[in-house]
Amino acid sequence: MGSKINQNNDLQVINSYGASRPFGSGNVQVFFSSGTFTTPVGVKAIRARVWGAGGSGACDQSSGAAGGGGGGYAEKIISSPNSTYTVTIGAGGDTVATSSNGNAGGTSSFGSAASATGGDAGTVNSGGNNGGTGSSGDINRTGGGSGAAAAASRSSGGGSAAGPWGNGFSSGSCGSGGGASGGGGTGGKSFDVNFSGAGFQVSPGGGSHGPGSAALSGPGWTGKRNGYVNHPTTSTTVPSGPNNTLPSRSGFDGDILPPVPPRFPGEFCWGAGGGIVYISVASVVGQVAGNGGVGGGGGAMYRNGAVEPSFDSAGSGGPFGGGGASQFSNGGPGGLAAGGGGSYGNTAAFRSGAGGNGLVVVEW
């Protein structure tokens, strides 16, 4: 994890993400909403992949606000399949306003063959929350939880979803001094926040290919990472963060797609985590932290509490990446099947990040 791979080696690209070879004849049907799968005539085996939904983060004005957990994952090969299967897609936990725990993600299932529970709701003044779990599959994996946010002025990001790549990763925990952590990535957690001096610390999102650090996001498949945007003056110019070669702070890794495109969402992930935004003056408004790329967690957001516009926000998780947490702004929503970020603030204007909906993929 975290090492740069040969971008021209298709097999290495596929293997680096934990993706499996196409099943059967390579046909795929993706369910983003509940429905019925009808087994085509003559098909003797199918493979079902099931993701539970992500939980939403908590939101509070006086205590810590933890993010929601990522959805679990189950994978099942079915020989001599039934003619039809009922497909149920779990809904992501809905966002909440101040002084509220979040909502748990819903369970997804493929008939009675395989299911995956959603991530836990983010909770107020919390030691962290758990991800969902797959069951009845040949492969069952657990989504990432959320880091601790057990006192005032602390908020943690959402956990990433489990998948073919393995179990999900948690967001960073918030220790002494207050702060907000980025969302977990499918390849690593966001950095723990532990600021013992005055002020706040915020961390970028974890990446699809490794964890985040204090100043840089987790890497994507090219090894590129995102830094931070700091607004120490009244200027609204967005400078680049350290070692950040991107013109923006998003985690889309320069919008460079792998040479082998995925056949369906969740086959593999390649994005970096999103960078953070730190605003120390009240006159800079309308800011959003960096969104994660595919598999990357959203970056955390901190702004001066003197002015708290309701439209500032932590970064969204990319598909399967957790949303970033926020201080004095809105939590970032989780990507597909991932947890939303928690939100801490002094007004009732803010909301936590919603969890991402689950999905089911069927191959034959």
Q: Bridge-partner residues for 73, per DSSP?
A: 51, 141
Grouped pLDDT means (10 residues each) for the chain, 364 residues: 39 51 91 98 97 97 93 97 98 93 98 98 93 98 96 92 97 86 96 68 90 87 69 38 37 56 90 82 71 92 66 90 93 97 83 97 98
Single-letter amino acid, residue 49: R
Helix (H, G, I), strand (E, B) or coil at 316: coil
Distance between CA atoms of residues 58 and 200, nearest Å: 19
Residue 192 burial (CB count, 10 A): 20
Element (H, E) at 134: strand 134-135
Largest CA distance in the chain: 67
Distance between CA atoms of residues 184 and 79, nearest Å: 35
Parallel/antiparallel/unpaired status of strands 134-135 and 84-88 = unpaired
* pLDDT for position 244: 33
CA atoms within 13 A of residue 180's CA, in its CB half-sphere: 42
Rg, Å, the chain Cα set: 19
Give the tens place of pLDDT for each residue, 275-311.
887 776 666 666 788 889 899 999 998 876 555 556 7
- In 261-320, at which residue ranges do the beta strands (DSSP E only) sit? 276-279, 301-303
* pLDDT for position 83: 96
Q: Which of 317, 359, 352 is nearest to 338 (CA)?
A: 317
Give the tens place of pLDDT for each residue, 129-180.
999 999 999 999 999 999 999 888 899 999 999 999 999 999 999 887 778 9
* pLDDT for position 15: 52
Tokens of 62: 């006086």
Domain borders along the chain are 1-364
Cα–Cα distances in angstroms (integers) from residue 82 to residues 73, 112, 302, in the given order: 22, 11, 52
Question: Which residue has tokens 């809105």?
Answer: 330
Residue 63 burial (CB count, 10 A): 18
Tokens of 57: 């983060």
